[in-house]
């Protein structure tokens, strides 16, 4: 499932592109940032790390990107 129904950000179009190959490789031990189900299942923990600046490991996301991820969660991830 790609997530989203048009009422908010979708995983495929909006969220997946936020993650780089380096981010994916850094988190492979825990989950796959390119897979909807993995990101959905770990969304709260990912958001917490994005908000505190500890993810990604090479520098914080701009607030616009963190806000987009937060909006995706608030839209219900997979309405």
Mean pLDDT (the chain) is: 89
Nearest Cα neighbor of 68 from 9, 11, 22 is 9
Considering only the C-alpha atoms of the chain, give the largest distance between any 2 of them, rounded to a whole number of Å: 32
Q: Is residue 62 part of a domain?
A: yes
Q: What is the DSSP letter of 53?
A: T
Phi, psi of 13, rounded to the nearest 5 degrees = -85, -30
Query: pLDDT value at position 4?
Result: 45
Tally of domains in the chain: 1
Give the E-state strand segments of the chain in sequence order: none
Q: What is the pLDDT of residues 1-27, one digit of tens each?
A: 444 455 789 999 999 999 999 999 999
* CB atoms inside a 10 Å sphere around CB 77: 19
Contact partners, residue 53, CB within 8 Å, separation at least 6: 60
Query: Which residue segment(s) compose the domain that 38 sits in?
Result: 20-74
Q: What is the pLDDT of residues 49-71, one digit of tens each?
A: 999 999 898 889 999 999 999 99
Whether the per-residue pLDDT at 36 is higher than 90: the answer is yes
Q: Is residue 9 part of a domain?
A: no
Q: Is residue 63 part of a domain?
A: yes
Q: Is residue 52 part of a domain?
A: yes
Q: Is residue 11 part of a domain?
A: no
Q: Is residue 7 part of a domain?
A: no
Q: Is residue 43 part of a domain?
A: yes
Whether the per-residue pLDDT at 41 is higher than 60: the answer is yes
């Amino acid at each position: 499932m790609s997530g989203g129904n048009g009422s908010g950000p979708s995983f495929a179009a909006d969220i997946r592109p936020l993650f780089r190959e380096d981010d994916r490789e850094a988190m492979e031990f825990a989950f796959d940032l390119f897979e909807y189900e993995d990101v959905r299942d770990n969304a709260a923990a990912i958001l917490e790390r994005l908000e505190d600046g500890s993810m990604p490991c090479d520098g914080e996301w701009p607030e616009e990107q963190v806000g987009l991820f937060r909006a995706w969660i608030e839209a219900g991830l997979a309405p």
